[in-house]
C-alpha cells in the first residue's frame, strides 16, 4: 500500500516536469517560428518588421490561442484558506493534508482584489513568468551585450552629448511624463474613474521613470544594416544604453521615496534622500561593475614568469570571462545595488580593456556567445510581451490613462531631445543637425526595460493600469515607429551606406600622423573626453592591456621601479606603432580594421570566402555585432549601399 503511494508520488513529480516542458516547448516553438520568419524577410529584404516585432506578433497570436482555446480548469485554487495559527508568511510552509505532509514555497503576496483573477485555466497561469526571471536571467545578457559592443571610438568622442541625453534627458522625460500623468489622473478622479487616494504624484513619477527607458533595438538594427551615419548611430545607441541604467535606478529610487507624513505633500528630506539614493546606487553599481571588468583584465593580462598565459586556454578564458561578468551582476544584486547597471559598465570595461588581452579565439568566442545570448533573450522577452497581452490576468484598460500616457511619452521625448540638442549645439564644434534631432525624436521606442520595470510590481490596481498601458505603448512604438524607420530615414534625407572604417580612414588621411592626438581631440570640443583619454591612454591602458606606451615613459621618473613592474614587455616594442595610429582609443583595433577591410575587398565575389571574412570583421570590429548575417546580406545582395539616400 505504502509502496503504491510512493510510486504515485513519483508519477506526480514526473507530471510536474512534463508541465514545465510543455510551456518551454511553446516558447521554443514561437522562437523557431520567429527565426524562420526573419529568414523569409531577409530573403525579401523586407525591413518593416524587425525580428522583435515578429516575435511579439507570434506571442500575441499564441496568447490568443491559449486564452480562448485551451480548457479552463484548476478551479480549486480560487479558494483562500484560513490559517489563523500563522503570524507571518514563512518562506517554506509545511502543511498536513489528510495525513501527508506537503511542502509549499512562498511565491508572493496577493492583493484581495486579484484573488478572483486566479481562476481561469491552468495553462494561462503556467505561462506567466516570475518577473524576477526578467531581471535576473533575461536582461543581464542583453545589457552586457550592449555595453560590450559599444562603438568605442565614436562613443568616447560623443561622450558629453550622450551623458547629457542619458542623465538630464531621462530626468526631464521622467518629470514631464509624471506631470502630464498627474494632470490626467486628476481629471480621472474628477470624473470619478479613480479614487483620490489610489494614485499619488509619486506613482505618476514612478510611471514616468519606467516609461523613460528607451529601447530602440529595432531602429538600431536597421541603422546597422543600412550603415547610417556613424555619429547619429552612436548618439542614439549610447543614449539608449545609458538611459536604461538611469531609468532603472530612477525607478528604484522613486519606489523607495517614502515621505513620512501625507504622501501628497512635498517632503524635502525624503526627496533629497531619494536623490542621494539615486546617486549612491548609480555610483556603487558603476564601481562594482567596472572593478569586475578591471579584475578580468588583470587576470587575463597576468604573465607571471612561470605561467603560460591564460589566453592559451581559450575555453578557460571564455569561462572566466563569462563567470566574472555574471558575478558583477550578482555581487551588485547581493549588495543591494542595481545589477543591470553593474553589468552594463562591466561590459564597457571588458570591451575597453579585457578584450585587448584575449586570444583571437576567445575574442571570437566571447563575442559570439554574448551575441547569441542577446539574440535569444531579446526574442524571448518580445515573445513574452506578445503573450502577456492575453495571458496576464489582471489587465486594467483605462482609455483616459492610456491616452494620457501616449501624450506624455511623446511630449517628454520632444522636451528631452530638442532643448538638449539646442544646448549641446552651443558647445559642439560638429553640430547635431536638425534631421538627426527629428530621427532621435522618432526613435524613442519603448521595449524590454520598460516592460520589465512595469511587470516587476503588478499587485495594486494603479500598478496594473501602468503595466497595461506600458505594454500598449511598447506594442505601438515597436510596430509603428520600428516599421517606419526606413521611410523616415529617406524622408529626413539622412546619409546611409557610410562605412565607419572608411569614415575614420578619411579623417586619418587628412591629418598628419604626428599631431593627430591634439588635433582630433580638439576638433571634438570634448574637454571631458580629453582628460579621460589622456589618463586612460597614459596609465590605465598600459597597466591593464598590452597596448599604449610603456608606463616608464608616462609616469614621473621617481615611479620608474613600479612602472617597470607593471608594464608588459611587449609595450616597449609597440611604442612607435602606437603613437602612429592610436588617435582615438585603441591601436590594435584600428590596425585590425585596416587589415579586415583589405581582406574584404578582395574576395567579396566568392560566396564562401566572404562568409569567413565577414565573420572576422564582425569580431575584430567591436561594434554592435548584431550578427555577421547582416553585413553578409549586403555582400550577397550586391545592391549599392547608398540606394536609399
Gap between the Cα atoms of 204 and 209, Å rounded: 9
Q: Taking contact as CB under 8 A, which single stretch among the options 153-161, 163-171, 359-367, 586-594 is the one that binds its own copies?
A: 359-367
Under the binding rule (CB under 8 A), the answer on residue 38 touching its own copies is: yes
Site for its own copies in 61-80 (CB under 8 A): 74, 76-80
Gap between the Cα atoms of 157 and 584, Å rounded: 8
Cα-based distances in Å from 274 to 202, 254, 286, 331, 457: 12, 7, 18, 22, 19
Q: Closest Cα to residue 234, out of 623, 549, 518? A: 623
Under the binding rule (CB under 8 A), the answer on residue 461 touching its own copies is: no
Q: How far is the CB of 208 from its own copies (least distance, A)?
A: 18
Q: Reduced to 3 states, what is the DSSP secondary structure of residue 177? A: helix
Q: What count of residues does the chain have?
A: 645
Cα-based distances in Å from 429 to 16, 337, 412: 63, 38, 27
Site for its own copies in 588-627 (CB under 8 A): 607-608, 611-612, 615, 627
Q: Taking contact as CB under 8 A, which single stretch among the options 225-233, 363-371, 536-544, 545-553 is the one that binds its own copies?
A: 363-371
Under the binding rule (CB under 8 A), the answer on residue 639 touching its own copies is: no
In the list 128, 273, 291, 368, the residue contacting its own copies (rule: CB under 8 A) is 368
Under the binding rule (CB under 8 A), the answer on residue 513 touching its own copies is: no
Under the binding rule (CB under 8 A), the answer on residue 265 touching its own copies is: no
> What SS3 string covers 332-374?
HHHCCCCHHHHHHHHHHHHHHHHHHHCCHHHHHHHHHHHHHHH
Under the binding rule (CB under 8 A), the answer on residue 111 touching its own copies is: yes
Q: How far is the CB of 506 from its own copies (least distance, A)?
A: 30
Under the binding rule (CB under 8 A), the answer on residue 285 touching its own copies is: no
Name all contacts of 62-67 with Cβ < 8 Å and 24+ positions apart. Answer: 62/26, 62/30, 62/383, 62/386, 62/387, 63/127, 63/386, 63/387, 63/388, 63/389, 63/390, 63/391, 64/390, 66/26, 66/123, 66/124, 66/127, 66/387, 66/390, 66/391, 67/124, 67/390, 67/391
Q: Taking contact as CB under 8 A, which single stretch among the options 157-165, 228-236, 396-404, 455-463 is the one that binds its own copies?
A: 455-463
Query: For 308, which DSSP code?
Result: P
Beta strands in 210-344 (DSSP E): none
Q: Taking contact as CB under 8 A, which single stretch among the options 250-258, 513-521, 531-539, 540-548 is the one that binds its own copies?
A: 250-258
- The H-assigned helical ranges of 536-604 are 541-544, 551-554, 560-566, 569-581, 587-601
Site for its own copies in 222-241 (CB under 8 A): none
In the list 67, 145, 365, 537, the residue contacting its own copies (rule: CB under 8 A) is 365
Q: Taking contact as CB under 8 A, which single stretch among the options 237-245, 269-277, 566-574, 632-640 is the one that binds its own copies?
A: 632-640
In the list 117, 183, 263, 484, the residue contacting its own copies (rule: CB under 8 A) is 263
Under the binding rule (CB under 8 A), the answer on residue 46 touching its own copies is: no
Site string for its own copies, 175-214 (x = CB under 8 A): -------------------------x--------------
Site for its own copies in 122-151 (CB under 8 A): 122, 125, 132, 135-136
Q: How far is the CB of 257 from its own copies (least distance, A)?
A: 9
Amino acid at each position: 500500500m505504502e509502496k503504491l503511494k510512493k510510486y504515485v508520488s513519483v508519477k506526480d513529480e514526473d507530471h510536474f516536469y512534463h508541465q514545465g516542458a510543455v510551456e518551454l516547448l511553446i516558447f521554443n516553438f514561437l522562437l523557431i517560428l520567429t527565426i524562420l520568419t526573419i529568414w523569409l524577410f531577409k530573403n525579401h529584404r523586407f525591413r518593416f518588421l524587425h525580428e522583435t516585432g515578429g516575435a511579439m506578433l507570434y506571442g500575441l497570436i499564441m496568447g490568443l490561442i491559449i486564452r480562448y482555446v485551451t480548457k479552463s480548469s484548476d478551479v480549486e485554487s480560487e479558494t483562500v484558506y484560513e490559517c489563523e495559527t500563522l503570524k507571518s508568511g514563512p518562506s517554506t510552509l509545511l502543511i498536513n493534508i489528510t495525513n501527508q505532509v506537503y511542502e509549499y514555497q512562498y511565491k508572493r503576496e496577493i492583493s484581495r482584489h486579484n484573488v478572483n483573477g486566479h481562476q481561469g485555466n491552468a495553462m494561462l497561469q503556467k505561462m506567466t513568468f516570475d518577473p524576477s526571471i526578467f531581471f535576473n536571467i533575461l536582461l543581464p545578457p542583453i545589457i552586457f551585450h550592449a555595453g560590450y559592443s559599444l562603438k568605442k571610438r565614436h562613443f568616447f568622442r560623443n561622450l558629453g552629448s550622450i551623458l547629457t541625453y542619458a542623465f538630464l534627458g531621462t530626468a526631464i522625460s521622467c518629470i514631464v511624463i509624471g506631470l502630464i500623468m498627474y494632470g490626467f489622473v486628476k481629471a480621472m478622479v474628477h470624473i470619478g474613474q479613480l479614487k483620490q487616494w489610489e494614485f499619488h504624484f509619486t506613482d505618476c513619477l514612478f510611471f514616468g521613470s519606467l516609461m523613460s527607458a528607451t529601447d530602440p533595438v529595432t531602429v538600431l538594427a536597421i541603422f546597422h544594416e543600412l550603415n547610417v551615419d556613424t555619429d547619429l548611430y552612436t548618439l542614439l545607441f549610447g543614449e539608449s544604453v545609458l538611459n536604461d541604467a538611469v531609468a532603472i535606478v530612477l525607478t528604484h529610487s522613486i519606489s523607495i521615496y517614502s515621505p513620512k507624513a501625507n504622501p501628497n505633500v512635498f517632503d524635502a528630506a525624503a526627496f533629497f534622500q531619494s536623490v542621494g539614493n539615486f546617486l549612491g546606487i548609480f555610483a556603487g553599481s558603476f564601481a562594482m561593475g567596472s572593478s569586475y571588468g578591471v579584475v578580468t583584465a588583470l587576470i587575463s593580462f597576468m604573465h607571471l614568469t612561470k605561467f603560460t598565459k591564460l589566453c592559451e586556454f581559450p575555453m578557460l578564458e571564455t569561462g572566466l570571462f563569462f563567470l566574472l561578468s555574471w558575478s558583477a551582476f550578482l555581487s551588485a544584486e547581493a549588495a543591494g545595488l542595481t545589477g543591470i547597471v553593474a553589468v552594463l559598465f562591466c561590459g564597457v570595461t571588458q570591451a575597453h580593456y579585457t578584450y585587448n588581452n584575449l586570444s583571437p579565439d576567445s575574442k571570437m568566442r566571447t563575442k559570439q556567445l554574448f551575441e547569441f545570448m542577446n539574440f535569444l533573450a531579446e526574442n524571448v522577452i518580445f515573445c513574452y510581451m506578445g503573450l502577456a497581452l492575453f495571458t496576464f490576468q489582471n489587465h486594467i484598460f483605462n482609455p483616459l490613462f492610456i491616452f494620457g500616457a501616449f501624450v506624455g511619452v511623446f511630449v517628454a521625448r520632444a522636451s528631452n531631445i530638442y532643448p538638449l540638442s539646442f544646448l549641446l549645439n552651443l558647445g559642439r564644434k560638429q553640430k547635431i543637425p536638425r534631421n538627426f534631432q527629428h530621427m532621435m525624436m522618432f526613435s524613442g521606442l519603448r521595449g524590454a526595460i520598460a516592460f520589465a520595470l512595469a511587470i516587476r510590481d503588478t499587485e495594486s490596481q494603479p500598478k496594473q493600469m501602468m503595466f497595461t498601458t506600458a505594454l500598449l505603448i511598447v506594442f505601438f512604438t515597436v510596430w509603428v515607429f520600428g516599421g517606419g524607420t526606413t521611410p523616415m530615414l529617406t524622408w529626413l534625407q539622412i546619409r546611409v551606406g557610410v562605412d565607419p572604417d572608411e569614415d575614420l580612414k578619411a579623417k586619418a588621411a587628412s591629418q598628419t600622423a604626428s599631431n593627430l592626438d591634439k588635433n582630433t581631440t580638439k576638433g571634438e570640443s570634448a574637454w571631458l573626453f580629453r582628460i579621460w583619454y589622456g589618463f586612460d591612454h597614459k596609465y590605465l591602458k598600459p597597466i591593464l592591456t598590452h597596448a599604449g606606451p610603456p608606463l616608464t615613459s608616462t609616469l614621473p621618473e621617481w615611479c620608474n621601479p613600479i612602472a617597470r613592474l607593471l608594464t608588459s614587455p611587449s609595450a616597449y616594442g609597440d611604442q612607435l606603432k602606437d603613437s602612429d595610429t592610436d588617435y582615438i582609443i585603441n591601436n590594435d583595433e584600428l590596425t585590425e580594421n585596416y587589415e579586415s577591410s583589405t581582406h574584404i575587398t578582395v574576395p567579396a565575389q566568392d560566396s564562401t570566402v566572404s562568409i569567413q571574412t565577414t565573420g572576422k570583421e564582425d569580431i575584430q570590429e567591436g561594434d554592435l555585432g548584431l550578427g555577421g548575417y547582416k553585413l553578409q546580406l549586403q555582400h550577397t545582395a550586391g545592391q549599392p549601399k547608398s540606394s536609399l539616400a
